[in-house]
Amino acid sequence: MKPTPTILLIGTVDTKSDEIGYLRGCIERSGGRALVMDVGVLGCGAVTPDLPNTEVAAAAGVTLPHITTSGGENTAMTLMAQGASLLAARLHAEGRIDGLLALGGSMGTDLALDVANALPLGVPKVVLSTIAYSHLIPPERIPPDLIMRLWAGGLYGLNRLCRTALAQAAGATVGACLADVEPHGKRPVIGMTSLGSSALTYMKLLKGPIEERGYELAVFHTTGMGGRAFEDLAARGFFAAVMDFSLQELVNAMNGSCVSSGPDRLRGAGRAGTPQIVAPGATDMVDYPTWSTPPAAYAGRPVAHTHNRLIASLCIDVPMRRAVAHEIGQRLAEAKGPTALLLPRQGIEGWDREGGPLHDPEGLAALVEELPRALAPSTRLVALDAHINDAAFAQAALDVLDDWVRDGLVRAGVRESA
């Protein structure tokens, strides 16, 4: 932890000099240092930026005059977002920034989301926005560790309301940097996915044995943002191996649900060459907000499970079960590293047991029949006469992990002394 963290402060200096100047002072009073990046394209403001708009444009491979004549404000800010993202990623890689604070209306927020996504998970990211938490922002564009703050009453000029928002956002960014915990310990990390701890319970059986083998276990809740965080880390090669046993977000994305982690679910580990043990956990349902309407393709189907006032689930039909099987097979075939699929023939989540709200023998039979056909020869298939929550499933996962450690495909765990 640095005694004086450097905050990358992003905004349009041409239109928001007063706000950026005030924010810079707030950052300094909170114990940080501001590095101001100007992403405006209309001219100069009263604040002298550390990173002028010409440098941002150059990072995108163009000139500022090219951007200003590119065809409109959307095109201009899209190009500036490209440059700002590349520049921010470079600054972080060089150790020159510790956190991000960006401010803007819908235009500035659009740019800020790209920049925030360019920075690794765990880097403090705060966006001060006039559309904070709005439905205008698609879930797949929200970094899983983003902090947002409404910029109330601050669209034009300073006043007591927006000064409060600006000061709190600055304090939150600096405070997050000062409170940052450096990764410690020598144990490799295994990433695991699950849908809560009631529908899927295998982590309760696996946590102890995985830790006994010298690994640290990190479990991600697959309700959109959890899958986003998991894929981000997997794509960066953070994990020694993954146990990706809850693929429900993949089904959501295929069915147009907003409870999605984006188009790259089940691709991060494969692209990084990270060994992955996969199972089709919770792929029998599609989620939607309880307070909203189901995806159009499932309108009229009975609600299978209302988890709470935020999220509910519907059973998918047999054709979609088969489609999901083929999508899983296709994405696993793209993997650059070792891949195994565990297929529990007796069920794939707690609610599909006999008597449960998602019990669907026909649908399960379709999945069990189709998945082996969908797999490429490079994917190891382990079919089990067990339910995904049974001890036999957990043991099968450990057996694959042990095989890969023995064969040198997965880094051995480290048993640290007390």
Residue 34: predicted pLDDT: 98
The residue assigned the tokens 């793209």 is: 334
Read out DSSP for 340-371?
EEEEETTBSSGGGSTTSTT--HHHHHHHHHHH
Residue 262: predicted pLDDT: 86
Domains in the chain: boundaries: 6-178, 189-406
Helices and strands, counts by H and E, the chain: 13, 14
Please, what are the averages of pLDDT over each run of 10 residues along the chain (418 residues)? 90 92 96 96 88 95 91 89 97 97 93 96 93 84 91 82 93 91 79 90 97 96 90 93 97 88 93 98 91 76 77 90 97 97 97 89 96 96 98 98 98 79
Q: Is the dihedral of CA 297, 300, 302, 306 positive or negative?
A: positive
Fold of 6-178: Rossmann fold (3.40.50)
Write down the CATH number for the domain with range 189-406: 3.40.50.12030
Nearest to 120 by CA among 104, 97, 102: 97
Residue 418: predicted pLDDT: 42
Instruction: List the alpha helices (DSSP H) in 285-356.
Output: 318-333
- Hey, is 219 helix, strand or coil? strand
Task: Please determine whether the domains at 6-178 and 189-406 fall in the same fold group of CATH.
Answer: yes
Maximum Cα interatomic distance, the chain, rounded to a whole number of Å: 70
The Cα 107–Cα 129 span in angstroms is 10
Cβ–Cβ contacts within 10 Å for residue 73, how many? 12
DSSP 42: S
Residue 297: predicted pLDDT: 76
Residue 184: predicted pLDDT: 63
User: CB within 8 A of 333, min separation 6: which ones?
Assistant: 375, 376, 378, 379
pTM above 0.75, yes or no: yes
